[in-house]
Structure 1
Amino acid sequence: MDMRDSDELTAFLGEWGPFQKTIFFSLSILIIPNGYTSLSMVFVADTPQHHCRLSNSTTISPGGRFSFNLSLRLPVEERNGERVDSQCIQFKPRAGERFNDTSGETEPCTDGWVYSTDRYISTIVSEWNLVCDDKWKGPFTASVFFFGMLCGSLISGQVSDRYGRKIILFISMAVHAVFSIFLVTAQSWEMFAVLYFIVGLAQVTRYIVMFILGSEILGKAERIAFGTVGACLFVAFGYVILPIFAYFIRDWRVLLVALSLPQILYVPLWWLIPESPRWLLSQGRDTEAKAILQAAAQRNGITITAEILETIIDRECMLPTGDIRTVTYLDLVRTSNIRNVTVVSVLVWMIVSVGYYGLSFNTPNMHGDPYVNCFICAAAEMAAYVTTWILLRTSPRRISIACIVGCSGVLLLLTQIIPPSHYVLTAIMAMVGKFGYSAVFSMIYVFSAELYPTVVRSMGIAACSMASMIATIISPYVAYLGMHNKILPFVLMGSLSIVAGIFCLLLPETYGQPLPQTIDQVKPILCCATMRDYIIVPGKDNVENEQRLDSQKGAV
């Protein structure tokens, strides 16, 4: 069965009836935890102020400053342009001398570390001493989570195609919630990382299957809103919740429990969300599909006879399948046009992913309160998704994306010329950059879907998504650079953003253009296009000629 005409089966239900509203809000609500699970590492894996544990020494005083006698035992080093006491080495005391007498020689911390509790009661960093030689483990924890998401992206489609959308959706929700709670039982960093990998795998499976289920049940009008304002906006709402919970709960174990337990409230949604009728029909389970459609019609106050419903189902099952040749991922590079589109799209996805998550994880390194910064980032993200919905309905894709991501990059680069005393202005510019990345992150899904032809559209999006996940794995280390120089992450992400904006301008325009159906209909990128690509070719059928004329209007 061809999945191209996804409105054929549900068109008789009308638009935005009670059934569609129930599905829309039920699916959107259950995706809220995706907004805070991955980014919870902003607080769970943050590094508090710390110093070597010294015998008879005082701990860090309120405000994170060391006491006078402690400073005598710690070398001074430069960090972020300031001279501060070392966090990883100490002076060796002279044998048999008083505590404050040192030989001038240094050594690594021999008795562990003392951590400030001004901001956190505990984090995984202070719990397992992920500092100094082990400080790479902090950002690597988030990378492990994203590697789990990469693996989940590879298997989610296959398992939901085999076992059904609804059952896999709720299984992934259960795994996501249960293993999020299991994280608090971890007795070592290694155990925590393994459990967090499973959480990442379940989280992306939850999102992808939810998106597929909504796309197959909802009609065209609801589906556009669902993909932008619905799913994305509710994920952003989950992001807003994170700093609020973290502000009042400063222990990482209690924080994870508080974020995970409310997911038990999703259990009643099992009886509100049906299985996809399209998937049931593809499995030959016509009776179950008919029952769901009849219940939906009744919910919307639509009377439909068994004969009419049977006719609709018969038409659905008889949709033409197009090219029967089995396509593979190699088809994404089979011709020069689709190969160029794939290469440019993959690069744009990777750069946007690094920028989006790099800014998110860089929140603790920014000036000001990290809870306020995180909340503002989340609020900017919500505004970005509303903006995205408007732009997708009214504006050209490549111009909008290029302008937004390019301007975001320029703003991030300008942060390096702002004096340190004007840190509020730096934070504002970073938030505007986050707004841009959030908007582009949502828009490139739609843009890429319109660039790829029907026969490989799913694989094209999957390839871009996997490349995005690979880039996301390294994004925590972009933020890690901010621990040594607060400006460096902004410079790196700003430069890459401008490159991404240039790449976007190379892609063909898709706004108001017919979607390509076959690989041969993929438009060339602009630097490789010739007049032959934009004129009517004699002997071609009307459909292809019409597409060439449309290409001329939208791409030149």
Structure 2
Amino acid sequence: MKDYEESIAFLGQWGCFQFVIFFVLCASIMPNGFGAFTLVFLTDVPPHHCTVPEANLTEEWQKEQSRCSRYRLDVVLDLWAKGFEPCVDGWTYSKDIYHSTLVTEFDLVCHDEWKQPLTASVFYAGVTVGSLFSGELSDKFGRKPILFATMAVQTIFTFIQVFANSWILFTVLLFFNGLGQMSNFVAALVLGAEILTGHARVMYSSVATNSAFALGYMLLPLFAYFLRDWRGLTLGLSLPGLLYVPMWWLIPESPRWLLFQGKVKEAEAIIRKAARWNKIPKEKDKAKKNYSVIDLFKTSTIRITTLNLFLIW
């Protein structure tokens, strides 16, 4: 709408309403920062070697620590007949950095090493699918419902991942988690750009949204430092989503979208709410004031205009 900004110019560019929208929407973007790069820690590969069961082995055998194979124990007595076999007893992983990762939990090494990059590919496939459809859905159902739906998808599926007992289940849940990932960012970006005006919109769309994403990205290593178990880290990254529930009552729908849908009364209610938050006098209060002929002479500007009109007539 071409005249939308002129119509709401009386609200100003910065007020209580704009500040709340600005910072609350930025806060909603932060989970995208740590959600997009969580797999860096979840799928990290710690040092590991084949597990060798307790046995009366020589020192040479004890020192032999290969990642994907080991000496066959059935020929241990014949040093000249050494053969190799896969890690049939599993792997021993270093816990110097991580207590556990997806790799150590589901043994994503050696013949299953291909599952590590596939995990990230599935996640970003979900991100792509979500990005393709979230725009059309927000045009149909509104910016606000899609924003909170994508935040809910991120939070719920991240939480459910904590209880995944197989790599396949975790990856399936990860795909659905990805559906809300970038879609949340785009929905918040569009909603803020449509509500804010002037310099506030420029600053929000350029600096603020990217800074909020970067802040979330910076918080991820802090979470990972204190939560060295992959389930604990996943849980820790899902719980902040509960903090966004009260935002439903703070973030309004886009007045532009409402007007485009013909919902004029709903858009007007939001503008009136913004006016109250910004402490702008109501038009009704101004209309109640009674004027008299004396008001034509109260100020110098009006007095000169009145006398000029008298003279002209």
Instruction: Report the TM-score when normalising by structure 1.
Output: 0.48
Residue aligning to 2:200: 222
Q: CA RMSD in A?
A: 2.2
Contact 1:50 1:87 in 2 (8 A): yes
Q: Report whether the alignment pairs 1:239 with 2:239.
A: no
- Of the two, which has the highest radius of gyration? 2
Other structure's SS at 2:180 match: helix
Residue aligning to 1:117: 95
- Give 2:163's aligned amino acid: T
Tell me the CA shift for residue 57 of structure 1: 6.7
Q: Which runs of 4+ in 1 moved over 4 A?
A: none
Residues 466-489 of structure 1: per-residue CA shift (max 9 Å, x gap) = xxxxxxxxxxxxxxxxxxxxxxxx
Between the aligned partners of 2:86 and 2:214, the Cα distance in structure 1 is: 42
Other structure's SS at 1:32 match: helix
Tell me the CA shift for residue 88 of structure 1: 0.9
Between the aligned partners of 1:9 and 1:113, the Cα distance in structure 2 is: 68
Residue aligning to 1:132: 110
Between the aligned partners of 2:76 and 2:55, the Cα distance in structure 1 is: 17
Residue aligning to 1:444: none
Residue aligning to 1:156: 134
Q: Report whether the alignment pairs 1:289 with 2:267.
A: yes
Instruction: Show structure 1 runs of 5+ residues with no match.
Output: 59-66, 75-85, 307-556
Residue aligning to 2:302: none
Residue aligning to 1:28: 26
Taking structure 1 as reference, are residues 96 and 289 closer, same or farther at Cα in structure 2, changes over 3 Å only? closer
- Give 1:55's aligned amino acid: P
Other structure's SS at 2:17 match: helix
Residue aligning to 1:104: 82
Between the aligned partners of 1:240 and 1:16, the Cα distance in structure 2 is: 28
Between the aligned partners of 1:123 and 1:9, the Cα distance in structure 2 is: 55
Between the aligned partners of 2:77 and 2:31, the Cα distance in structure 1 is: 56
Instruction: Show structure 2 runs of 5+ residues with no match.
Output: 285-313
Taking structure 1 as reference, are residues 9 and 146 closer, same or farther at Cα in structure 2, changes over 3 Å only? farther
Matching of residues 31-430 of structure 1 within 5 Å? 31-56=29-54, 69-72=61-64, 74=65, 86-95=66-75, 97=77, 101=79, 103-303=81-281, 305=283
Residue aligning to 2:10: 12
Tell me the CA shift for residue 296 of structure 1: 0.7
Taking structure 1 as reference, are residues 52 and 13 closer, same or farther at Cα in structure 2, changes over 3 Å only? same
Contact 1:38 1:142 in 2 (8 A): no
Between the aligned partners of 1:5 and 1:104, the Cα distance in structure 2 is: 84
- Give 1:38's aligned amino acid: A
Residues 80-109 of structure 1: per-residue CA shift (max 9 Å, x gap) = xxxxxx3112222453727xx463332322
Question: Equivalent pairs: percent with the same residue?
Answer: 47
Matching of residues 517-532 of structure 1 within 5 Å? none
Farther-moved stretch of structure 1 (287-296 vs 222-231):
222-231
Residue aligning to 2:298: none
Contact 2:75 2:83 in 1 (8 A): no
Contact 1:152 1:201 in 2 (8 A): yes
Other structure's SS at 2:162 match: helix
- Give 2:175's aligned amino acid: F
Contact 2:25 2:192 in 1 (8 A): yes
Taking structure 1 as reference, are residues 251 and 283 closer, same or farther at Cα in structure 2, changes over 3 Å only? same
- Give 1:20's aligned amino acid: Q
Between the aligned partners of 1:57 and 1:186, the Cα distance in structure 2 is: 34
Between the aligned partners of 1:6 and 1:138, the Cα distance in structure 2 is: 50
Taking structure 1 as reference, are residues 225 and 94 closer, same or farther at Cα in structure 2, changes over 3 Å only? same
- Give 1:90's aligned amino acid: R
- Give 1:227's aligned amino acid: S
Farther-moved stretch of structure 1 (155-164 vs 7-16):
7-16
- Give 1:259's aligned amino acid: L
- Give 1:87's aligned amino acid: R
Other structure's SS at 1:56 match: coil
Taking structure 1 as reference, are residues 103 and 7 closer, same or farther at Cα in structure 2, changes over 3 Å only? farther
Tell me the CA shift for residue 127 of structure 1: 0.4
Between the aligned partners of 2:230 and 2:80, the Cα distance in structure 1 is: 37
Tell me the CA shift for residue 301 of structure 1: 2.4
Between the aligned partners of 1:149 and 1:17, the Cα distance in structure 2 is: 35
Instruction: Report the TM-score when normalising by structure 2.
Output: 0.84
Residue aligning to 1:358: none
Contact 1:92 1:103 in 2 (8 A): no
Residues 23-63 of structure 1: per-residue CA shift (max 9 Å, x gap) = 000100111111111211111110111111112279xxxxx
Between the aligned partners of 1:140 and 1:8, the Cα distance in structure 2 is: 51
Tell me the CA shift for residue 133 of structure 1: 1.5
Where relative contact order (Cα < 8 A, 6+ residues apart) is larger, the structure is: 2
